[in-house]
Structure 1
C-alpha cells in the first residue's frame, strides 16, 4: 500500500494503452500526410483493413477525423477546436493584444487577429479604432465567410501550417482564386473589399518562431479610408505588427525555457 503523500498509480488496462498509442500513431500520420485512408492506416498500425476501418470510424464519430471523400479522412472539427485552444494557451492572443493596439493607433483603423477553427477563420482578438467618425466594429468569436482577406491568407499559406485543411481544393469556391492565392503567396498580403458593406480588409500572415502560419493579422475599415495598394503604409505597419508578434512568441518561449 502506498504511503500517504505518494502519487497513486493508475490501473489502466493494457488494451486501453494500446488503443491510445494507435490513435496517436494515426494522428501523427495524418499530420505528415494531410489525409489518411484505410490502406495507409492499416500499414501504419500493422493491422488488417477491418481493424484499421474500426479505428478510423471511431475517430470520425468522436470528431477527431472527418471524411474528405468515400475512402479518405482528414482533420476533424474536434482537433481543429483543440488546436485553436492550444494556440490561445500558447499566448498568441495575449501577446498580440498590445501589438494590435499599437498598430491600430498608427493606422487609425480596427485591427483583428484571426485564427483557423478547421472550417473558417474565427476572430480571436479585436482592437477597435474609434478615432474616426466612421469605423468598423467586429465581435470576438465571429466566424468570417469565405473570400475575406483573412480567409484568403489562410488558404494561400495552407501548406505552411499544421492545421489548415480543406474539404475542397482552395480555389473551388471562387472562380479564378488560384491566381489570387499565388499573388498573395508572392506579396504576403491579401486585400479584399465588400461593395455592399462598404468595408475593406487588408491581411497578412502571422508566423510562429518556426515559420509556420498560426494566425492572420488584418486592418479592417471603411473602403474609402483603407488603401488597396500592397505597398501602402497600412501594409507596412501590419507586417511590422505580425513580425512583432512572432518575436514576442520567440521571447516568451525563451523565457519559459530559462
Structure 2
C-alpha cells in the first residue's frame, strides 16, 4: 500500500478508493464507520459516499447504511456493454432515422439504468445526449419498460429498501410503481414526463434480453416545450414496432448460431 507521503497521491481519490474497498469487503457501511476508517469528519465521509452514490458505486439502503452499488456489484454487466452497443447500434440508427429525435440505448443494472449509446437530434430545440448517465430505472421510460417485464418477486428484490427518492419521480413506493407497470405492459412502452429530468418527455420500449443476459431498451426524448399528443402517438407507434422487429431479428440470429 502506498503511504500518505506519496507525492503523487490525490487525497480525495485515495479516500474514495478506500471506501470502495470497504463497501466491497463489508457489504454495508455507515457514515460514522466511514469517517472513522478514513480519519475524517462525518460530513466529509457523507460527501464522499454521496458522490459514489451519484455514479452508481454505492446506494443508500435501510437505516441510512450505504451498500455496494450496481457499478461495484455487477462488473460483468459493465464488461459486456461494448458488445451490446455494437449489436444494437443498427436498431438505434434506424429508430433515429425514422423520427429525428434524440434517441438512446440503455441497459438495466440492478435497479438503475445506464445510457450506453445515443444519437442527438439536430433540431434547434432538442434533448441532449445522456450517454454515461445513470439514474433509477423507475424514473425513465426505458427503465419502466424493462421493469414491466420482471416478475413481482424480481421487482421487489431490486428494491429491498423501497424506491430510491428522486426529484421528479412520480411513484413513491412499490405499490404505486407496480400499478404504473401494469399500464406499461398493456401499452408496450414506458412514458416519462419530466421524471428523470425537467423539461424532458420520453418514451421507451424494451428489447428484452436479446443482447445476452442484459436487459436493454431504446428510448426517444423530446423537449416538453414542443411535445404534443400527436408526437406521442407517432413515437409510440414507431418505437414499439422498431423494438418488436429488433427482438425478432435478434432472436432469429441467435437461433441460427
C-alpha displacement of 1:83:
2.6
Q: CA deviation at 1:69?
A: 7.1
Measured in 1, the distance between the counterparts of 2:178 and 2:231 equals 18
Whichever structure has more helix as a proportion of its residues is: 2
1:159 aligns with 2:151: yes
Secondary structure, in 3 states, of the residue corresponding to 1:158?
A: coil
Q: Deviations over 1:28-54 (max 9, x none)?
A: xxxxxxxxxxxxxxxxxxxxxxxxxxx
TM-score in terms of structure 1 length: 0.59
The 3 A distance-change label for structure 1 pair 193 and 231 is closer
Pick the structure with greater CA Rg: 1
Q: Which moved more, 1:232-241 or 1:188-197?
A: 188-197
Tell whether the 8 Å contact from 1:121 to 1:143 is kept in structure 2 after alignment: yes
| Per-residue deviation, residues 205-243 of structure 1 (Å, max 9, x unmatched) | 112359987112110111144445797121111112212
Aligned residues: 191
Q: Which residue of 1 aligns with 2:135?
A: 144
Contact (CA 8 Å) 1:110, 1:136: kept in 2 or not? Answer: yes
1:231–1:147 Cα change, 3 Å: closer
Are the equivalent residues in 2 in contact too, given 1:116–1:122 (CA < 8 A)? yes
Q: How does 1:43-82 map to 2 (within 5 A)?
A: 61=25, 77=70, 78-82=72-76
- Asked if the contact 1:113/1:124 (under 8 Å) is kept, the reply is yes
Shift of 1:250: 2.5
Shift in alpha-carbon separation, 1:60–1:159, aligned structure 2, 3 A: farther
Q: TM-score, normalised by structure 2?
A: 0.59
Q: CA deviation at 1:76?
A: 7.0
Gaps of 5+ in 1: 1-58
Return the offset for 1:134. Answer: 0.8
Return the alpha-carbon distance in structure 2 between the equivalents of residues 200 and 111 of structure 1: 12
**5+ residue gaps, structure 2:** 1-22, 28-58
Matches within 5 A, 1:95-114: 95-114=87-106
Aligned partners of 1:210, 1:142: CA distance in 2, in Å? 20
